[in-house]
Structure 1
Amino acid sequence: MAEVPGLLISAPSSGTGKTTVMLGLLRALAEDGLAVQPFKSGPDYIDPAFHRAASGRASFNLDGWAMGPSLWQAIAAQAEGAGICVAEGSMGLFDGVATRGQQGFGSSAETAQAMGWPVVLVIDVSGQAQSAAATALGFRDYLPGLPFAGVILNRVASPRHERLARLGMERAGLPVLGALPRRGDLTLPERHLGLIQAVEHPDLETAIAGYAAFLREHVDLAALRAAAWGTALPAHGTLPRPPAQRIALAQDAAFSFTYPHVLEGWRRAGAEILPFSPLADEAPDPDADLVWLPGGYPELHAGTLAAAERFRAGLRCHAETRPVHGECGGYMALGEALIDKDGTRHAMAGLLGLVTSYETRRFHLGYRRAVLDAALPGHAPGTALRGHEFHYSTILEQPDAPLARVADADGNPVPETGSHRGHVSGTFFHLIAEEEAA
């Protein structure tokens, strides 16, 4: 298979503006006639939808902790036919976990090394000038062998500020690929799990077009394209197999957190995905073999879900004879009740005894390794799974049998074991992959 050159957009930390740079770059390159394949390094189920809106191609996660070689290769191969790959890093460039996973520690730098993609470091230079070069120099030299394209200076206050920051980079021998003036409108709306969902943005197309125009004015796109590099794409690999032939998948503003590689694997294997909207009080297709409720924001729509009688009746009917599974927000919706931020208790589907509270907030974040004690659709007892947990809800009651023995990336047990009752199961972790044999 042919080689497709690529770049990885990263930063020293979160909040530096790399997502707006990423979206603007994707759109600008697509406008120039390139087929642009976006990727996201790490476990993020919100950014890929923004990438798709900007590039016109589905974006996929690459995760060195959670994914084994076969899945990694299958996802990398999605770039076939593209003219360039552009990946967005998570958090800071070298941020990962302490214990090695399937391939590494989960950092964006590992993704860049594995794919041969030079790093474009987005540096927030507000409050500094030449000193920014010392930070960038440290990032370039921290990991020997890391391909490095250069830096984009962000939030530049004035022409004088830009000149001083460029002088520092020149002294450090670091190419400056662009300098973006400070603009308050170049931010995306956020909520408690990060960005709002792409489908909720009031005018996403206008925003992305604005980012692209801004980058054209202040970034050397020709230099970026010239810096792109990469290794030959793999010719093999295996995407996740579908857990059933006909899968009723909840899809709306309350349930949208699905990893693109999972759905792509289901579709390629011939599964029928039957979307329905609980918020519109739609019942799952009565002929479905499986109902799957992904994560999302049920805590923001608890009253609507509590009043969705057709949805809940359809779930209960399906669960009498066939499997129902929920992840994170979907798990909460399968429970007995959900308490919102104001302390109001809302009845959920009642297929599990789970009671969760968003009023009693506690942050849960991190990779998860789960060994199943009972079957999860598509996975037998004893199977080891890799996933990621990210939510603020607290379990108040969980009377059902645990679904799995769950640990964090370092092997420490976590109390969110998931649960099951009859044909119904749920987890607080979002499934990324079944663990591959060593």
Structure 2
Amino acid sequence: MRAAVATPFPVASPVTAADLVAALRDARARTLALLDGLDDAQLMGPRLDIVNPLLWEIGHLAWFHEHFVLRGLDGRDSLMAGSDALYDSAAVPHATRWDLPLPPLPETLTYMERVQSALAARLDGRAPDAREVYLYRLVAFHEDMHAEAFTYARQTLGYPAPAFGEAAAGAAGPWPGDATVGGGVLRLGSEPGDGFVFDNEKWAHPVELAPFRIARAPVTNAEYAAFVDDGGYRRADLWDAEGRDWLAGSEAEHPVYWRRGAEGWEVRVFDRWASLAPHRPVIHVNWHEASAWCRWAGRRLPSEAEWEAAAAVEPAADGGLGATKRRYPWGVAPPAPGLANLDGRGLGPVDVAAHPAGDSPWGCRQMMGNVWEWTASPFLPFPGFAPDAYRDYSVPAFGTRKVLRGGAWATSGRMVTATYRNFFGPERRDVLAGFRTVAI
């Protein structure tokens, strides 16, 4: 097959200090909005494996900022005595975080603001160098990731919906059918010159793909409900060995936030129950649930290489994979409301036919935003992998997680691209994940 050498993403004009500080401030504003309205008990919450105490987590954000910038670049002392013993996620076991002598919220917020003000002040009046640009973006994106975690923690714990967001989008309906993606050689991952990338995206390498047919949209609530109603959770033949073990341990009979109401399926959205919207993508299903639905439907999950090809590679004249890979499914323009459901707009998914302007080169819809999409691929390092400054970002997860792609409705649009790799354990149902499928 033809070897396609991907064109690097266009790199924007040089990043200024103002750009970096604006991203920090914007990420912090979202963090504070997600804390708004929660009392002291809610900020600690119950001891669960899938959440952190929110009071601990916001202090960790400040610690992370100063650890990599103020202390890492400048060798400064911490702005909070004893911060390493409280907030170093690599050294403080998850189960102990409820038992720590955490500062109260006002003191924690003061620490956060002191750190952020120091980050802004150290760039005042000068242009940042490449190392500073990388680390400032890293800490801003790290806070963006935690903001998404705060969002689904509020869902997990049944807290009220956060106050930000816009009016929910109107009905757009289903988007059935498959798109045919030509074969060829994909350069999977990011290229030098693509701008900021995470270490697990490095570096692009050739993967040969046969032609395949992939769903134009994610699986919908209605499509998933048909599986549940057909006894999908009771049919052992639809689940692999690990899936059957998970099913037995969880005693699941349907997606985690669903229940049967008087007029059909209902879903809990934060602290309220609503009728299940049939044409929105199913969300909060894990990898085992997605895989079982595929067996029931005679389909399969895409590999992450197939997903990336369908999302970003432009077709060649002969219909195969071309030589140009887009930064986003629609091109190079940054995410905007008309292109993708990102940044918490609407506080939930929209119908799968929405956002046609964001279609990929092959005609797939919503390959960015709305729901993270499980792939068949285990989360493994690319050839030649070496960890970046945040050494514990990827390495501890290799071989234990599955790859998700594309971003969800709560994902930061400034962070996600067509090469961004998310990763969670196959048992996780709390994350904002759905899936699309490939024909067998």
Please state which band the TM-score falls in when normalised by the shorter chain. Answer: under 0.3
Of structures 1 and 2, the one scoring higher in RCO (CA 8 A, sep 6+) is 2
Normalized per residue, the structure richer in strand is 1
Structure-1-length-normalised TM-score = 0.26
| Greater share of helix | 2
